[in-house]
Structure 1
């Protein structure tokens, strides 16, 4: 029996200690296991008590087990051997759930967002958008305590409308500043350089500040990105339909910026016009071109009767001023909504721009009898230091309200996945300054799908006609037949 006792000690001691030692080593890894556990007393420790000899049987008191009892002991030891081996091989452990990594840009009392904008450069006028978004967040922080107990911090980077700078600055926002999400990145040529980088890094890319179809044409391929304004194809179809109905049988000239911004717009115009007009000239321009006089000259020589133009305010102003003041040419212009704002009126002059047609989807800054527009003017005065609001600051507030609602719907336990789910769940959401509803879904990342025609009248962009929509139709498939009033 002494040989059995020796076997007990020989077998059990290394197996149990090995397993205990492995458990301690594993528990130092916070990825898979919790803190080290205190090891329980092992049952065979009683063998270390002083041995009392039994005179009659000349053997230890604790060795008085019967043969059957020792059979059970040996069976137990074999089980311990198996468990010890299982422990060594990782089978006998129950893993403790890993500690979740902190969500980038989120603390108990703050959420950090980022954006790239053009505070300087050829389209610096649009800097008012980012400043207005920030002003709205400051208003929310001060009057509402933020969203779900967290204040909103917006980091604004100035890329000067330069794509290479956009790449560097967005990398900084993601990798150094550790933003939770990118919001309203500005510009088609700039944001195209970072949209896939943001997707690959799992960074929500909310409400991009362009109507390029790249953001909304395939939500399955780019699930992290959302548009914000009517996409340029949809807008072009609406304006093209207006041209077809107003100027049938005449000659149409096209002018556009030589990138996706212009290309999408012209695709929509062509679909909207159909065969109602003859397209007799098409001119493009670059972002850094000084003016569009030569393009206007060529369309004038081609004898066009109406011009559809996709251009920023400065470029459009040079085009229409050259036509009106230098050529004495009263050709009608139909303009992308990105330039249907007060700056364009200022640059071109109210009399020069009179009668130009575009599209609108937000209330106008001059509608001060509307309490929400009046409230907007007060907001930008208090939190932005502006004298008054305008089309661009109204757009900035609209973006701020979308972000606020997405954060609210995402709930207090913020994750990037939860934010995307929230951004995909807008149903007939009405921002305070919107003219129509905002709807999104997992298959539709295009929040605003339609608008009202607007006309420059006395220096203001005045709505006319009915709301025109293309709700739920992706730009790749959209045609005039999809428009609804």
Structure 2
């Protein structure tokens, strides 16, 4: 018997034998009793806060296994640390495919990281499902025929919503953007360009950072000097907190939008200073367990029970665990739909045939849908504003499609 053993370089695995299961099928990563899947996670390194996603997903499949597994098979999730370094992602993914012989890669984190492994996985005919990235390029079936975006709002759609909102409030607005210098950050710039069109160069001042940078104070000072009325923070949690704090320290108070990958109160807003974040705008697609609106919600209560039993050390204020719950539930749906045919072809057919799937931790009205030509599971989002204590949603659901 192999159980959860940790979240460092050796990874974490769940595996419990199930007696009396059906005969083993001749599919990679599949036996009579097991479905083996793999992922890479930044359990160490500059964005280790995102390791909560892997911990939550490992916990979810532990719960699934205790309930009897999926169609008579237990799920063996092997979760390996890549330190948020694409070369390490490639190394660990090769291990998962060639040594562990997983049936699919699930929810690996990072835009550059998933880009680095995509062609390799295609060459090995290994699905790359519910990617831990909202980068719009992964929605292109021609370029990434064996991939789906994660169960999250796409970055480019998000940026379009920010540009439209800002221009509705101030048609003459000028934009300043701090973004990570990779495809994650560039997707936000692309979304602004989609809305601003030919005026983009005239209206946008952009600054970038590298994930290894110790601070981005100089970039924020430069952006303030541009005279921008709107500040878009397209950053991971550490740099998002730095951006909010520095802008506040230098007395810069533009309309500010924060990437929804960095809205966590405990790891971003509190380190930045709660007063500094007051009035910042972002978008939501999941239920925030801290929102009093969900106090008696069955979905939130079910999530809390899951966390208390299967991720007892997890921070109940960290919505990464909500995203983990949603992603794992979406994959469970796909694997259930496969029945006993766990071939790559059928896994992909089911991943691209999700119809109006309601997940208990998505906002009401948001459903998961995919098709062979639509690899974007979630397209709708709702605006929210930080009150200085918590995020408060407002307005109708919107799509940046």
Which ranges in structure 1 are unaligned for 5 or more consecutive residues? 1-99, 471-481
State the partner residue of 1:92: none
SS in structure 1 at match of 2:32: coil
Whole-angstrom distance in 2 between the partners of 1:453 and 1:273: 20
1:451 aligns with 2:381: yes
1:134 to 49, 53, 58: 58
TM-score of the superposition, structure 1-length normalised? 0.73
Whole-angstrom distance in 2 between the partners of 1:275 and 1:216: 25
1:214, distance to aligned residue in structure 2 (A):
2.3
Whole-angstrom distance in 1 between the partners of 2:341 and 2:204: 57
2:302 to 350, 362, 375: 375
TM-score of the superposition, structure 2-length normalised? 0.88
Which has more radius of gyration? 1
Q: How many residue pairs end up in the alignment?
A: 369
Matches within 5 A, 1:35-434: 102-143=26-67, 145-217=68-140, 219-228=141-150, 229-274=152-197, 279-325=203-249, 327-342=250-265, 343-366=267-290, 367-386=294-313, 388-389=315-316, 390-434=318-362
Residues 317/345 of structure 1: CA separation in 2 closer, same or farther (3 Å cut): same
State the partner residue of 2:11: none
1:222, distance to aligned residue in structure 2 (A):
2.3
1:331, distance to aligned residue in structure 2 (A):
2.3
1:460 aligns with 2:387: no
1:387, distance to aligned residue in structure 2 (A):
5.3
Whole-angstrom distance in 2 between the partners of 1:249 and 1:257: 26
Higher percent of residues as helix:
1
- Structure having greater relative contact order (Cα 8 Å, sep ≥ 6): 2
1:399, distance to aligned residue in structure 2 (A):
0.5
CA RMSD of aligned residues (A): 1.7
Which ranges in structure 2 are unaligned for 5 or more consecutive residues? 1-23
1:259, distance to aligned residue in structure 2 (A):
0.8
Residues 199/280 of structure 1: CA separation in 2 closer, same or farther (3 Å cut): closer
> Runs of at least 4 residues of structure 1 off by over 6 A?
none
1:374, distance to aligned residue in structure 2 (A):
1.7
- Contact 1:244–1:272 (CA<8 Å) still a contact in 2? no
State the partner residue of 1:94: none
Whole-angstrom distance in 2 between the partners of 1:382 and 1:240: 42
SS in structure 2 at match of 1:338: coil
Whole-angstrom distance in 2 between the partners of 1:250 and 1:336: 19
1:272, distance to aligned residue in structure 2 (A):
2.9
